[in-house]
Amino acid sequence: MRAAPQLVLLLAVAVALAVASDEETTQEDSSTRPTVNSVDEETTTSKSVATHSGTGRRGRVTCYFESWAVYRKRSRYGIEDIPGDMCTHIIYSFVGLNNQTWELQVLDEKLDVVDGGFENFTALRQEFPGVRLQVALGGWAEGGHNYSTMVGHPARRASLVRSVVAFLHRYGFDGFDVDWEYPGNAPRGGVPEDKDDFLCLMQELRAAFDAEGLGWELTMAVPLTEDKLRDGFHVPHLCSIVDAVHVMAYDLRGEWDHFADAHSPLYRRPHDTGAYAKINTHDGLLLWEQMGCPADKLVVGVPFYGHAYKLCANVSDYSPGACIVPCTKNDVCGMSYYQICNEIQNVGDWTVKWDKYGMVPYAYKGRTWVGYENPHSLQIKMNFIKNKGYAGAMMWAVDEDDFQGLCGEPNPLLSVLHNNMKEYVVPESKKTNTVESDMTLELNCKRIRQQPVFPQKGSPDVFDSTVNETLQTLRPNATEKHNEQINTSTT
Ligand SMILES: *[C@@H]1O[C@H](CO)[C@@H](O)[C@H](O)[C@H]1NC(C)=O
Ligand SMILES: *[C@@H]1O[C@H](CO)[C@@H](O)[C@H](O)[C@H]1NC(C)=O
Ligand SMILES: *[C@@H]1O[C@H](CO)[C@@H](O)[C@H](O)[C@H]1NC(C)=O
Ligand SMILES: *[C@@H]1O[C@H](CO)[C@@H](O)[C@H](O)[C@H]1NC(C)=O
Ligand SMILES: *[C@@H]1O[C@H](CO)[C@@H](O)[C@H](O)[C@H]1NC(C)=O
Ligand SMILES: *[C@@H]1O[C@H](CO)[C@@H](O)[C@H](O)[C@H]1NC(C)=O
Ligand SMILES: *[C@@H]1O[C@H](CO)[C@@H](O)[C@H](O)[C@H]1NC(C)=O
C-alpha cells in the first residue's frame, strides 16, 4: 500500500460512514438514478436516438478473445467455441512487440502459428460472414516500456507499421487494435513524450492501412482516468483517426485498494470519495466525451469476470468496502462468470446482493466476496449505451461467459449485448465541445527522442496510478489487461 496509514484510515472511515447511511450522500440524489428501462435524464450529454439522424451503423459488439483460454483444464475454450454470430468484431489477443527489430512479435508461436491459431481465427469469416476479425497488440502483460522506447523513433515506428501491414495480409485479419497500457504512464515505463509520439504512431498506422485500400479498421483499448488520459492521449486527434475507442471500464477497483468492492460500477457510490469519485463507467465515458471524443466512436467495455477477495475474519458488514486480507494462492482471487454463476446457482450457500448505486451485483460466502456483472447489470449498461448514443459494447473476454450453459442457456452475458445492440442504430454525434484550436497541435513526427524525461515526483495534479505487479502472479492469464491502482492519498 502506498498511501499513508492515516489516509487509509480516513478512507476506511469514509467508507464506513457511507455504508452506515446510504441516504446521507452529498452527491446527486440517487433516487433519480435510472433503473432498468428508464432513460438517463442527465441533461448535459443526453442524446436521444430519435432526435438524431443515424450514422447508419448498428451498435458494435466487440468480443475480445483470450487465445490462452485453450489451456484451461476444465473449461477449455478454443476458437471454435466463439459464437461469432453474436459479435460484430472479434479480437484475437495478443501479439507483442519485438524490441530488437521493432516489428510485431508473435507471443505463442506454437499456438498462434504452428497449430494454426491465427489461420483458424480468420477462417471464422467463412462461418460468420460480415464479422470483423482483428488482432490486438500489447495488453497488460506486455508492459509499457518497449512501446515507449519504440514510439520515440520514427524508424522504429516505421518498422512496426510495415510489419503490421505484412502480418494483416499474411493471416487475413481486417483490423488492428492497439492496447498499449499506457502511453505516458510513468509506472508502466512511459515518459511524457509518449503522448505526441503515440499520436504519430496511430497516424502512421492509419495512413498505411488506408493505403492498402482494404477497409482495415484501426482501434485502441484505453483507460478512463483523468491522469492517464491527460498524460498519454491527444483525445480529439486520436478519436478522429480511429474507427472505435474501446474504453476499459473494468478493473476499476481491486485488491490493490485493500477493500472488497465491485470493479465496474456504472455510477459513483457514496463511498467513492477522493481519487475514486470519478472512476466509474459513467464518469469515465463522460470524460472521454468532455476531452473531445465523439460519442459515436466510444465503445463501452464490460467485464465477463469478477474480482474476488478474501474477507477479514471479523467482517460483519459485507457491503462494498469490507475489510480484506491478501488473497493467497489457495484463495479464489479472480472468477470468470461461468464459475460465478455455477457457484451461486449450482453449488449454493452464496448471498447475492445488489450495489444500488453502482448497479452491479456482488456475492459472498464465508470469507469469499466477489464483485461481478450479471445479465441484469449488463442490461442496465446496454440501456446506458443506447441512451448516450455510444458506439456499442465490448467485453473482456468472450471466453469467460457461461459458454457451456452450466446455468441455463449458453452465453447469457453475450446474449444481453447482442440482443441490445443488434437493433440499435448509433446516432450521429453532435459536434463535440472541442474548440477548433484544440485540434491544432504542433506535432513533429520526424523528431528522434533524445533522453527520456521523467515527470517530476509529486506534481500536485498528478494522481499517481501505480501498478501492483504482484497481481500478475495471482491471476496471470486473465488480468493481463488494465489494472488501475489508485493513490488514495491524492485528494
Ligand atoms: C501489492 O499486492 C500485494 C498482495 O496483495 C501486497 O502484499 C503488496 O503490499 C502490494 N504492494 C503495493 C505496493 O501496494
Ligand atoms: C502516493 O501516496 C504516497 C503516500 O502519501 C506518497 O508518498 C506518494 O508520493 C504518492 N504518489 C504520488 C507520486 O502521488
Ligand atoms: C520487450 O521486448 C523484448 C524483446 O522483444 C521481450 O523479450 C520482452 O519480453 C518485452 N518486454 C516485456 C515487458 O514484455
Ligand atoms: C528489451 O527488453 C528487455 C526485456 O524487457 C530489456 O531488458 C531491454 O532493456 C529492452 N531493450 C530496449 C532497447 O528497450
Ligand atoms: C486449427 O484447426 C485445425 C483443424 O480443425 C485443428 O486441428 C487445430 O487444432 C486448430 N488450431 C487451433 C489453435 O485452434
Ligand atoms: C478486523 O481484522 C483486521 C485484520 O484482519 C484488523 O485490521 C481490523 O482492525 C479488525 N477490525 C475490528 C473491528 O476488529
Ligand atoms: C497461462 O498461459 C500460458 C500460455 O500462454 C500457459 O502455459 C499457462 O499454463 C497459463 N497459466 C494459467 C495459470 O492458466
Q: Is residue 94 part of a domain?
A: yes
Q: Is residue 336 part of a domain?
A: no
For ligand 1, the distance from its centroid to the CA atom of residue 396, given in whole angstroms, is 24
The answer to whether 25 and 32 have CB atoms below 8 angstroms apart is no
Query: Torsions phi, psi of 118, nearest 5?
Result: -60, -45
Question: Pick from 93, 193, 205, 168: which is nearest to 138 by CA?
Answer: 93
- pLDDT value at position 174? 96
> Per residue in 180-208, pLDDT tens?
999 999 999 999 999 999 999 999 999 99
Question: Pick from 333, 370, 262: which is nearest to 478 by CA?
Answer: 333
Ligand nearest to the CA of 485: 1
Boundaries of domain holding 201: 41-305+374-431+460-474
How far is residue 80's CA from residue 105's CA, in Å, rounded to a whole number? Answer: 24
> How far out from the chain centre does Cα 346 lie?
29
For ligand 7, the distance from its centroid to the CA atom of residue 434, given in whole angstroms, is 44
The answer to whether 371 and 318 have CB atoms below 8 angstroms apart is no
How far is residue 180's CA from residue 138's CA, in Å, rounded to a whole number? Answer: 5
CATH number of the domain at 166, please. 3.20.20.80
For ligand 1, the distance from its centroid to the CA atom of residue 468, given in whole angstroms, is 6
Q: Tell me which of 225, 226, 464 to substitute to probe ligand 2's pocket, judged by most ligand atoms within 8 Å of the beta carbon.
A: 464
Residue showing cell 497488440: 137
473, exposed or middle or buried, with CB in 10 Å at 0-12, 13-18, 19+?
exposed
Nearest CA to ligand 4 atom 1: 99
Residue bearing the bigger pLDDT, 38 or 354: 354
- pLDDT value at position 332? 86
Question: How confident is the prediction for the chain on average, in pLDDT?
Answer: 85
For ligand 7, the distance from its centroid to the CA atom of residue 95, given in whole angstroms, is 15
**Whether the bond into 182 is cis, omega within 30 of 0:** yes
Domain count of the fold of the chain: 1
Cite the DSSP H helix spans in 281-431.
281-290, 337-342, 375-388, 412-421
Question: Pick from 67, 484, 432: which is nearest to 235 by CA?
Answer: 432
State the closest ligand 7 atom to the C-alpha of 108, by its place in the atom list counted from 1: 5
Burial of 311-350, coded b for 16+ CB within 10 Å and e otherwise, reads beeebeebbbbbbbeebeeeebbbbbbbbbbbbbeeeeeb
* All cell numbers assigned to 366: 464465508
Q: Is residue 159 part of a domain?
A: yes
Q: Is residue 436 part of a domain?
A: no
How far is residue 116's CA from residue 329's CA, in Å, rounded to a whole number? Answer: 33
Q: What is the pTM of this model?
A: 0.79
The confidence band for 353, taking pLDDT boundaries of 50, 70 and 90, is very high
Ligand nearest to the CA of 486: 2
- pLDDT value at position 435? 54
Q: Is residue 74 part of a domain?
A: yes
Average of per-residue pLDDT across 337-347: 98
> Per residue in 374-425, pLDDT tens?
999 999 999 999 999 999 999 999 999 999 999 999 999 999 999 999 999 9
Looking at residue 345, the DSSP 8-state letter turns out to be I
- pLDDT value at position 301? 98
Average of per-residue pLDDT across 441-453: 81
- pLDDT value at position 478? 34
Q: Is residue 185 part of a domain?
A: yes
The confidence band for 56, taking pLDDT boundaries of 50, 70 and 90, is confident
Q: Is residue 97 part of a domain?
A: yes
Q: Is residue 35 part of a domain?
A: no
Q: Which residues line ligand 7 (CB under 6 A)?
A: 68, 71, 108, 476-477
* All cell numbers assigned to 412: 447469457
Looking at residue 448, the DSSP 8-state letter turns out to be P
Ligand nearest to the CA of 5: 2
Looking at residue 152, the DSSP 8-state letter turns out to be T
> Per residue in 136-157, pLDDT tens?
999 999 999 999 999 999 999 9
